[in-house]
Structure 1
Amino acid sequence: MTLLLLLILLFHAAEAKGQWQLLHKNIGIVAMHMQLLHNDRVIIFDRTDFGLSNLTLPDGRCRNNPNELVVKRDCTAHSIEYDVAANTFRALFVQTNVWCSSGSVSPDGTLVQTGGFNDGYRAVRTFTPCRSCDWAEVQHGLAAQRWYATNHILPDGRQIIIGGRRQFNYEFYPKTQAKNTYSLPFLAQTNDANAENNLYPFVFLNVDGNLFIFANNRAILFDYNKNSVVRTYPQIPGGDPRCYPSTGSAVLLPLREPNVEAEVLICGGAPRGAFRNTLSGKFVGALRTCARIKITDPKANWVMETMPGARVMSDMVLLPNGDVLIVNGAAVGTAGWELGRNPVLNPFLYKPNKRVGMRFEVQNPSHIPRMYHSGAVLLRDGRVLLAGSNPHTYYNFTKVLFPTELRLEAFSPWYLEPGFSNVRPAIVSPASQTKLKYGQTLRLRFKVSATLVGDSVSVTMLAPPFNTHSFSMNQRLLVLKPHHLSGVGESTHEVEVTAPASAVLAPPGFYLLFVVHQEVPSHGIWVQMV
């Protein structure tokens, strides 16, 4: 009977292609940057020099900024806090320009957001989760101007800030008495004249404590403590660029304990020369390839795969069951003002554990083009929140190919469809916001109404990322292998797992914890690694 149920489930999973829901027709601002916080609110912000937004600041508040390039007295908001459970949002106040900035969440759950443009080049902004909190700003909090940089949380709780336009170096935050910036020649070596193609580099913390840094079409393993390159990886076959403005996307595939190996997947982008061609009005088709590499392999090489279609400016979202959702973007052109064409409305689902050639599945389409300056983040209930798209220098709603997009929507992957409710776990304990120590034994109780298939149960931990410009910084999913599973009551079970052994595997901070049964995840609970 269990085998029959499993076969039926697999059949329904193959037929299910996800569902779309419009949440708001107008949130007032463009979602250029997004971050889910541990109070189930999503912080969203665009840039201050788009001009006036469509959302007025409350209580007659206005932003007076003589350094602003567009509107020096602005009574509209450029950031919001979205309450997932209530499906409401409130305006937030940001003073300096956050255009094309970066960020990560500190171990205590505070969003630390860095850089931007003009008066925001060296600014640091923090947002502490609470019902009435707003942005706090530290002027000159950075040692160098950071525009199109990448951040990553480190095992000691600091964040490293890498690169940015004309910045071939890195620095750390919070600041100490140590040297402010450190040279990173790799960023200069990957800088294409008149195109760059190395902005928003793809950065991942490897399981050995070093950083995997990918820029343009190649990567290094980097010891940031010693400021030294540990190894150089082969160039991606074909040599086409994958970083901004030839914007592909990248993800660190799930880390599976106990024998943890690390793999990186990079998908889409634009052919070499495409950016300069689009500037002269010649639009070139995007890349259809993905490249996958096991970065812990001493003889690591890229394995090429082919997507169902070409994509540029797409987002890659890790789902709780370890699959990857590829969503948003275009099939022609590059990132940049008015430089994308042919929006791709169908997400692709990538299943890392299937064999090559069987990993991609086309999902149901949205009806909203999400082009340049759009984004996507996973929510605690397993949905994916999508917003943004503005390929114009200002808000522009008429007489353009792709009007400024202020609608907010959610994509529900196949596992949220009603047909899977009987196999979907529901976590009973521990309570959300539980603190976990490294190496701690954790017992989770959960309910499943159908017959439990014991060898299909796993526990996953996901670090919610900072999403902007088709890259989700700090996105990380760990798969914890059960070492004891038992029934403790009617339809109630207890699974025992061990928390990650070190901060190298799971840097300190808040994670979403899921129980997964037959590839169907529960709603998550928040846990904090301390």
Structure 2
Amino acid sequence: MINSENVIIILTALILCFSISILSEREPIPFQMQLDRWEVLLPSIGISAMHMQLLHNGMVIMFDRTDFGISNLSLPGGMCRFDPSDTAVKFDCSAHSVLYDVVSNTYRALKVQTDTWCSSGSVLPNGTLVQTGGYNDGERAARMFTPCGYSETCDWIEFPQYLAQRRWYATNQILPDGRIIVVGGRRQFNFEIFPRPDSHGYRGSRFDFLRETTDGSSENNLYPFLYLLPDGNLFVFANTRSIVFDYKRNRIVREFPEIPDGDPRNYPSSGSSILFPLDESKNIMEAEIMVCGGAPKDAFPRAKSQQGFTRATSTCGRLRLTSPNPIWEMETMPLPRVMGDMLLLPTGDIIIVNGAGAGTAGWENARDPVTRPVIYHPFDHRFSIMSTSSCPRMYHSSAVLLPDGRVLVGGSNPHIYYNFTNVEYPTELSLEAYSPPYLSFTSDSIRPHILTNDKVISYKRLFNVHFSIPQFLTIDLLSVRIVAPSFTTHSFAMNQRMVILKLLSVTHEDLTNSYKLDVLGPSTAEIAPPGYYMIFLVHAGIPSSGFWVQIE
């Protein structure tokens, strides 16, 4: 006979079994996920951070576009911008660029005159940001920002018709001689060099590979993935194809197999890509890239015609460019993602953050925000799913690595203008910081702390780093890395680069756990172009804070 007591026991057992079955269906959460965290730094900076660049004085310059309409931040001193060609508002007294001070967590407005929408950038060896292209009156503009103190009044200097061609959705790369190459853009099957040559009537150079990789009206080869290789040539990935390109002689040196599965990876399918760290401590220099995420070929036209939002691509491809017979090694991300940002962490691991699980880039073209970053561990080919952000970061979001090891995240505006109400994903003006597990206090005992370091280093020349460590040092687990900060926009971190330097000796200086390192500077400007880098010490997988060095 079933009495009331038996009924309670049976119901309790059923509830327990149901709970266990639910828990067993969840994705396993690595222990390290308890050690990472998100932090809202500022609820609003007045603009949406579509583009970001970390500068060598610890400031971050951010901007969106001048034709979003009136932002939530006024220009100082009653300044205004009059632009008769603006499609949103012709007389605008609001800012569309800010300078953010990481240390004080404050910002000030900057004045940009020409439209920076979907533009590109690189930092010159002297630390000046060169920013190129955009839309409408900004499509041939070059802009320069030279870092100064936060309380000073440095601002954008603009050259509205400097570029040889229209550059909208182009990609930049710093070159070994300190010049910048600007590649592609919408309906631009060419490249040019900044600063432009003195020759009269300079129009840039043809680049037929970009014409060949155009995919109908959606193109899918915009913001091509571009890397300087150790031999001085360029790696270029567009749509599904990739090559080694000799820009000096304007010829293709090598073509690689197409990435398997046929899914395009560039805008508007908008996957992302990184160049793995270049390791000078090894006897042989290898170069390997990785491409992750994106959207199937039909995703853009389906979203535009309101037929639906296609599931994003979940595959990643690794390609060792220096292999005699390179083939794509495919892996599967735990979360499909389009419009993700890939950044190199000081440890050499890769974080993929921001983006959506369905649709493509473009206005109103995506759904299912992916608010959990993943960290990829290249050595053992493993992904870790990390903690959840409370803020969806969709189209027009960005992220950069900070010297303290955090990842600064901002932006997201999938609308033609600023739109804060009655939409699924309002324009986002906030800034967040993501702290990876290596910043947890549980690792403080083995975390190195740089005390002093040479501020200027030279190629193939010895330099010193002095550091301390709280408890113990395992020399075999110590490495020295330099990281070039990226110009991040539209799912690609331009000029991002890490070089692992050759560590020659470690000397214990006294009884307070301090040491001196003798380190060899990079071999060539092809491996590490001249300019400012963050230098990190990594011990047993735990990085120090980064300090700035300049390679001359």
| TM-score range normalised by the length of the shorter chain | over 0.9
Structure 1 gaps of 5+ residues are 1-11
Q: Counterpart in 2 of 1:272?
A: 297
Q: Counterpart in 2 of 1:113?
A: 131
Whole-angstrom CA distance in 2 between matches of 1:321 and 1:219: 27
Asked if structure 1 preserves the Cα contact closer than 8 Å seen for 2:35 and 2:440, the reply is no
- Alignment counterpart, residue 439 of structure 2, candidates 389, 405, 416: 416
Per the TM alignment, residue 15 of structure 1 is displaced from its structure 2 partner at its CA by 5.2
Q: Counterpart in 1 of 2:414?
A: 391
Asked if structure 2 preserves the Cα contact closer than 8 Å seen for 1:17 and 1:363, the reply is no
Per the TM alignment, residue 67 of structure 1 is displaced from its structure 2 partner at its CA by 2.3
Per the TM alignment, residue 353 of structure 1 is displaced from its structure 2 partner at its CA by 1.1
SS of the residue aligned with 2:216? coil
Asked if structure 1 preserves the Cα contact closer than 8 Å seen for 2:99 and 2:109, the reply is yes
Whole-angstrom CA distance in 2 between matches of 1:180 and 1:525: 40
- TM-score by length of structure 2 reads 0.92
Q: Counterpart in 2 of 1:30?
A: 48
SS of the residue aligned with 2:253? strand
Q: Counterpart in 2 of 1:435?
A: 456
- TM-score by length of structure 1 reads 0.96
- Alignment counterpart, residue 48 of structure 1, candidates 66, 71, 83: 66
AA aligned opposite 1:303: E
Whole-angstrom CA distance in 2 between matches of 1:14 and 1:79: 36
SS of the residue aligned with 1:422? helix
Map Cα deviations across residues 443-485 of structure 1 (whole Å, 9 max, x no partner): 2111101211110000000000100000000000011132211
AA aligned opposite 2:301: R
Per the TM alignment, residue 79 of structure 1 is displaced from its structure 2 partner at its CA by 0.1
Per the TM alignment, residue 139 of structure 1 is displaced from its structure 2 partner at its CA by 1.9
SS of the residue aligned with 1:59? helix
Q: Counterpart in 2 of 1:149?
A: 170
- Alignment counterpart, residue 130 of structure 1, candidates 143, 148, 153: 148
Map Cα deviations across residues 9-30 of structure 1 (whole Å, 9 max, x no partner): xxx9745451111100110001
Does residue 263 of structure 1 match 2:288? Answer: yes
Q: Counterpart in 2 of 1:7?
A: none
Does residue 513 of structure 1 match 2:513? Answer: no
Q: Counterpart in 2 of 1:3?
A: none
- Alignment counterpart, residue 204 of structure 1, candidates 216, 223, 227: 227
Map Cα deviations across residues 117-141 of structure 1 (whole Å, 9 max, x no partner): 0000100000000132000001211
Larger Rg: 2
Asked if structure 1 preserves the Cα contact closer than 8 Å seen for 2:33 and 2:385, the reply is no
Whole-angstrom CA distance in 2 between matches of 1:410 and 1:204: 27
AA aligned opposite 1:422: S
Whole-angstrom CA distance in 2 between matches of 1:524 and 1:49: 36
Please give the residue correspondences for 1:491-510 in structure 2 after superposition, counting only pairs within 5 Å.
491-510=513-532
Does residue 376 of structure 1 match 2:399? Answer: yes
Give every structure 1 segment of 4 or more consecutive aligned residues whose post-TM-superposition deviation is greater than 6 Å. none
Whole-angstrom CA distance in 1 between matches of 2:78 and 2:209: 48
Whole-angstrom CA distance in 2 between matches of 1:529 and 1:36: 17
Identity of aligned residues (%): 54
Size of the alignment, in residue pairs? 515
Q: 1:63 to 1:15 in 2, by over 3 A?
A: closer
Map Cα deviations across residues 59-84 of structure 1 (whole Å, 9 max, x no partner): 11111122222211100000000000
Q: Counterpart in 2 of 1:310?
A: 336
Does residue 223 of structure 1 match 2:241? Answer: no
Does residue 160 of structure 1 match 2:175? Answer: no
Please give the residue correspondences for 1:334-413 in structure 2 after superposition, counting only pairs within 5 Å.
334-354=360-380, 356=381, 359-413=382-436
AA aligned opposite 1:52: I
SS of the residue aligned with 2:107? strand
Please give the residue correspondences for 1:462-501 in structure 2 after superposition, counting only pairs within 5 Å.
462-489=483-510, 490-501=512-523
Whole-angstrom CA distance in 2 between matches of 1:469 and 1:430: 35
Asked if structure 2 preserves the Cα contact closer than 8 Å seen for 1:213 and 1:221, the reply is yes
Map Cα deviations across residues 375-433 of structure 1 (whole Å, 9 max, x no partner): 000001000000000000001011111000011110011111111111111101116xx
Whole-angstrom CA distance in 2 between matches of 1:22 and 1:425: 27
Whole-angstrom CA distance in 2 between matches of 1:140 and 1:67: 15
Over the aligned positions, Cα root-mean-square deviation in angstroms equals: 1.2
Q: Counterpart in 1 of 2:25?
A: none
Map Cα deviations across residues 38-73 of structure 1 (whole Å, 9 max, x no partner): 000000000000000000111111111222222111
Please give the residue correspondences for 1:169-184 in structure 2 after superposition, counting only pairs within 5 Å.
169-178=190-199, 179-184=202-207
Asked if structure 2 preserves the Cα contact closer than 8 Å seen for 1:17 and 1:362, the reply is no
Please give the residue correspondences for 1:2-21 in structure 2 after superposition, counting only pairs within 5 Å.
14=32, 16-21=34-39
Q: Counterpart in 1 of 2:481?
A: 460
Whole-angstrom CA distance in 2 between matches of 1:298 and 1:403: 49
Asked if structure 1 preserves the Cα contact closer than 8 Å seen for 2:537 and 2:544, the reply is yes
Does residue 450 of structure 1 match 2:471? Answer: yes
